[in-house]
Amino acid sequence: MNYRFWCGECGFKTTWGDPSEAGRQHEDHYTARHPGLPLGGQVETGTKGPAAGGGLGCVGMVVAVVLLLIIAAACGR
C-alpha cells in the first residue's frame, strides 16, 4: 500500500510512497514552508503511484480499440 500526505496549510502533496518516505517529505515541507507550525493535513492511502504496479490504463484501452478497428476493417472486405 502506498501513502501520500497532504499539507494542511497549502496545496502541497507528497509523492506516493511507503509511509516513512512520504512522512519524511511531509515533515521536510513543513520545516521549509511552514516553520513553527505543527504537522497537519491528511494522509491518503491507496494503490496508486509507480510502486503500486497496476495495469496499462489508457494505453491498454487505446491499443484494444486500434486492434478492434483493424479486425473490423479486415473482416469488412
Segment 25-67, tens digit of pLDDT: 999 999 999 999 999 999 999 876 555 555 566 787 888 899 9
13 compared with 53, residue with greater pLDDT: 13
Question: What is the four-CA torsion angle of 43, 45, 50, 53, rounded to 10 degrees?
Answer: 170
CA angle 30, 35, 49 (to 5 degrees): 5
Alpha helices in 1-77 (DSSP H): 19-33, 58-75
Q: With left for phi above 0 and alpha for psi between -120 and 50, is residue 36 left, alpha or beta? A: left
pLDDT at 40: 93
- Flag the least confident range among 1-5, 18-22, 48-52, 70-74: 48-52
Beta bridge partners, 6, equal: 13, 42
Mean pLDDT of 4-29: 94
Domain map (residue ranges) of the chain:
2-75
Residue 15 in contact with residue 48, Cβ under 8 Å? no
